[in-house]
Structures are given as C-alpha cells and as structure tokens.
Amino acid sequence: MTEIVRQPTLSERTDEQIREVLAGRRRGVRAMLLFAGPAMIASIAYMDPGNFATNIQAGSSYGYSLLWVVLMANLIAMLFQALSAKLGIVTGRNLAEICHDRFSTPVRIAMWIVSEVAAMATDLAEFLGGAIGLSLLFQMPLLAGMAVTAIVTYGVLLFEGRGFRPMELIIGALVAVIGLCYVIEMFIAPVAWGQVGLGLVTPSMPDTTALTISVGIIGATVMPHAVYLHSGLTQHRAPARNDFERRKLVRFSNWECIIALAVAGAVNIAMVVMASAAFHAGHPEVAEIETAYHMLTPLLGGAAAAVFLVSLMASGISSSAVGTMAGQMIMQGFVGFHIPIWVRRLVTMLPAFAVVLFGVNTTDALLYSQVVLSFALPVPMIALVMFTRNRAIMGDFANGRMTDIAAIVGTIVILCLNVILLLQTFGIPIPGLG
C-alpha cells in the first residue's frame, strides 16, 4: 500500500522558515516578509468606512489644513499597536487573557461587556460601509447589499480555519486594493502637492467645527478591537522559546507596525487629499459617503467614483471580517467562552440590519457607533499601558522611560479628546471652545 505523505500547510512552512530566521540561518528582506501579517491585519481598523466618512468631511470642509491631525493620529497608532504586539510576543497571551488573569471577576466581566459592545459598534460601521459601497456600485437595494456583504465576509472568515497565512494573504490583498484605489484617485484628482506638504507639517485649527472633526479623527485612531486583536495575532506564529528569540520577534514586529501603519496613514492622508481636491473649492458641504460618490462622477468622472466605491467595499468587507476575529478573541480571553464563527457573525450583523429596517439614517448610525467606541476606548488603552510597563509581567521587555512617557501622554491626549467628542456630540458646552 502506498503511504500518503502529508504536505505541510502554508502556515506550517512559514513557521519552519521563521525558525530558520530566529536561528540566524535566513536573513534579508525575504526573511522579514515571513513576519508580515499581524500588523497588516490590525491596520485594517485604520482604513474602515468610519475613516472614510471622517476624512471626507475633513477634506471637503477644510482642505489640506487638517492633514497634520491625520499624521499625528497615525504616529500614536503605531506606538499602541507596537505595544500590543510586544505584549503578545513576550507573554504568549493576548490582552484579554491577561486582563482575565490580573483583574477581579466584577472588573473582568465589566471590561468584557464594554469590549463586546464596542466590537458590535465597530462592526456596525464596517458592515454598513461595505454594504453601502456594494449597493451604490451595482445599483442594488441597501438590504441586498448587506446580504451580499454578509456572505462575502463569512467566506473570508472561513479561511481563518486553514491557518494564519491564508487569512493574512486575503486581508493583505484587500489592503492592496484599498491602497491601489487611492493611488489611482491621486492621479485623477487635481492635487495641490505643495499645500499637501504644508498641511502635514503646519498645525492649524480654523474653528471649533474643525476641532470636532479633528477629535473624530484622533478619537477613532486607536480602535479597541485592534488593540486586543494584535496581541493575539502575534501568537499564531512559531512562539519564542527564549529572550533572544523574543527580542528578535519584537524587533521584526516593530518594523512591521511601522510599515503597515505607514501604509494605513498614507491611505487616510490620501482620503483627505482626494476630498479636498474634489470638493473643497466648490462643495465644502460634502460630509456623507453617498453624497461624495454622487458628486465625484460629474467632478472627476465615472472612473473616480467607481474606484472610490471599490475601495469602500474592500474596506468594509476586510474590516468587518477582522472585527469578527477580534470579537472571538475578546470573548475567549475574558470569559473563556467560544461560539461558532457564524453565530458571532450573525449576532454582530443584527444591529446593522435593524438600522436599515427601522429607517434610521445610516450616517447618524455611523456617528453614534463612533461615540460608543469613545466610551469603550479607555478599557484596552489603560490596561495595555499598565501591563507593558509592569516588570512582573514583561521582565526586561517592560517599557523604557521614553516609551512609557510617550504611551502615557498618548493615552491622556486621546482620552481628553474623546471626552471633548462626547460632550460636543451631546451638545454640552465646553468652556473656551465656543
């Protein structure tokens, strides 16, 4: 009888090659590419449909003047995603699991509930965004677009069961689609590149409405689910066996965070630039995704409008899939409970279907989903800073003095801005802000 030899899977082959890199037998750019994946998946959170809406409003209303806010937000995101990855590499556990170990049961349950609500709010924005793009591109009812988006997203999630590498390649392809779409938009739109450069390096705040938009950009930068998810994604690869390997893994992870978040930042900058070039001079009132699409055709042509919708679809599908992955990790980490992926996918889609069925304005739904995220944001951020500066948990990998200061300052800045966002959302006057 002929013996059947099982061929190693793509993920298993990647693990073997990673071991060779850690042992020093493989070097160079190709060696670094083996570690690409976790930060790229996490970076999808920074290119979701919520970012589309905020960046379109920033560019159409204020031109290039708020680009510096996008740049600053991206730098903060790099820091926190790097800390999340480091926590996972060093401890071998994700952030939710460490919260489970370190906090009392009432605190842990409260954190879990807040994080689950945040995951559902995130998926509301992501799922609706993908469905809007699909319905506009193919001229179908929004409910039909939601049904198709649900099927495609579930199809993407099925690849997670085949190991980490296939899922990373699919998400990477969708990231590439989003990036390519905005490269094309940059060639179509009449961009004033000199003003782009000035906007990136010249802080300005034209009025209180600009402040509100800036708070929206920064307040949604560090997404709760992305912080939880990144710490778990780093464990899908060959685990470190000693501090020498951990140090190498952290170094590779830091480089991937810089590159992946730089790409995400470039896409966000491109969103603002495109909106500014297309709408600012004659149509500064554009603030909604649907309005932007309908006005792009007469201004820049049908190709620009179609490319915009393709990028929105890729963003919605990929970010919705990643949000579901994060929700699974949050539940399993906090309470040790696992449900089938199709059940979680169904549960997280229900609020989006309810929004459409009950005739709620989709833009308002997106706005209030971001408010929910603002409430949830302190939970993972504060926990992450606490754990990564704790030598009992991190040993020699605990944050250095400068990293600690940067993380604490970043946390305070984002929390303060989120408070401003929440107060302004509910119409509460803020002294000194008019």
Q: What are the tens digits of pLDDT across the range 207-222?
A: 777 887 887 787 666 7
pLDDT band at 418 (very low <50, low <70, confident <90, very high): confident
- CA distances 165 to 15, 40, 326, Å, are 10, 12, 17
- pLDDT per residue as tens digits for the range 399-411: 999 999 999 998 8
pLDDT band at 99 (very low <50, low <70, confident <90, very high): very high
Alpha carbon distance 374, 422 (integer Å): 7
Looking at residue 144, what is its pLDDT? 87
- CA distances 236 to 18, 41, 168, 230, Å, are 12, 13, 11, 11
Asked, for residue 268, whether it belongs to a domain, the answer is yes
Instruction: Tokens for 68, please give them.
Output: 């510096």
- Say if residue 20's pLDDT is above 70: yes
Asked, for residue 265, whether it belongs to a domain, the answer is yes
Looking at residue 1, what is its pLDDT? 42
Alpha carbon distance 36, 189 (integer Å): 32
* Nearest by Cα to 234 from 26, 115, 116, 90: 90
Q: Tell me if 153 sits within 8 A of 130, measured CB to CB.
A: yes
- Say if residue 433's pLDDT is above 70: no
Asked, for residue 22, whether it belongs to a domain, the answer is no
- Say if residue 55's pLDDT is above 80: yes
Q: Rg of the chain's alpha carbons, rounded to an integer? A: 21
Question: What mean pLDDT is predicted for residues 119-127?
Answer: 82
Q: What is the 3-state secondary structure (H, E, C) of 285-338?
A: CCCCHHHHHHHHHHHHCHHHHHHHHHHHHHHHHHHHHHHHHHHHHHHHHHHCCC
CATH number, position 309:
1.20.1740.10
Looking at residue 19, what is its pLDDT? 79
Domain that holds residue 421: 33-425
- Say if residue 197's pLDDT is above 60: yes
Looking at residue 5, what is its pLDDT? 44
Looking at residue 6, what is its pLDDT? 44
- pLDDT per residue as tens digits for the range 323-363: 888 888 888 888 887 778 778 878 878 888 888 888 777 76
- DSSP letter, residue 355: H
Asked, for residue 13, whether it belongs to a domain, the answer is no
Alpha carbon distance 146, 291 (integer Å): 19
Question: What mean pLDDT is predicted for residues 272-279?
Answer: 84
Looking at residue 186, what is its pLDDT? 80
- Say if residue 54's pLDDT is above 50: yes
Q: Greater confidence, 245 or 394?
A: 394
Instruction: Tokens for 113, please give them.
Output: 């509930």
Asked, for residue 328, whether it belongs to a domain, the answer is yes
- Say if residue 3's pLDDT is above 80: no
Mean pLDDT lowest for which of 87-91, 191-195, 262-266, 309-313? 309-313
Range of 81-85, 124-128, 345-349 with top mean pLDDT: 81-85
Q: Give the orientation angle of helix 243-275 with respect to helix 164-188, to 10 degrees.
A: 30
Alpha carbon distance 160, 323 (integer Å): 13
Q: What are phi and psi of 13, to 5 degrees?
A: -65, -40
Instruction: Tokens for 227, please give them.
Output: 């912080």
Mean pLDDT lowest for which of 183-187, 293-297, 418-422? 293-297
Alpha carbon distance 47, 223 (integer Å): 11
pTM score of the predicted model: 0.87
Question: What mean pLDDT is predicted for residues 269-294?
Answer: 74
Asked, for residue 7, whether it belongs to a domain, the answer is no
Asked, for residue 11, whether it belongs to a domain, the answer is no
Q: What are phi and psi of 21, to 5 degrees?
A: -65, -45
Q: Tell me if 373 sits within 8 A of 119, measured CB to CB.
A: no
Mean pLDDT lowest for which of 15-24, 55-64, 271-280? 15-24
Mean pLDDT lowest for which of 8-12, 172-176, 200-204, 294-298? 8-12
Looking at residue 315, what is its pLDDT? 83
Instruction: Tokens for 200, please give them.
Output: 């990136």
Decide: helix, strand or coil at residue 399. Answer: coil
- DSSP letter, residue 207: S
Alpha carbon distance 185, 187 (integer Å): 5
Question: What mean pLDDT is predicted for residues 99-105?
Answer: 91
| Burial readout 111-134 (b: 16 or more C-beta within 10 A, e: otherwise) | bbebbbebbbbbbbbbbbbbbbbb
- Say if residue 4's pLDDT is above 60: no
- Say if residue 296's pLDDT is above 80: no
Alpha carbon distance 282, 189 (integer Å): 14
Which sign, positive or negative, has the C-alpha torsion 242, 249, 378, 223?
A: negative
Mean pLDDT lowest for which of 17-31, 170-184, 376-390? 17-31
Long-range CB pairs of 156-164 (<8 Å, 24+ gap) are 156/317, 156/318, 156/321, 157/321, 157/324, 157/325, 157/341, 157/345, 158/341, 160/325, 160/341, 162/9, 162/11, 163/9, 163/10, 163/11, 163/12, 164/11, 164/14, 164/37, 164/233, 164/236, 164/237
Mean pLDDT lowest for which of 5-9, 171-175, 379-383? 5-9
pLDDT band at 96 (very low <50, low <70, confident <90, very high): very high
Mean pLDDT (the chain, rounded) = 82
What's the structural domain count of the chain?
Answer: 1
Asked, for residue 15, whether it belongs to a domain, the answer is no
Determine the distance from the C-alpha atom of residue 179 to the mean position of all C-alpha atoms in its chain, rounded to a whole number.
14
Looking at residue 36, what is its pLDDT? 81
Alpha carbon distance 335, 274 (integer Å): 44
Q: Which residues contact 312 (CB under 8 A, 6 or more apart)?
A: 49, 52, 129, 130, 132, 133, 289
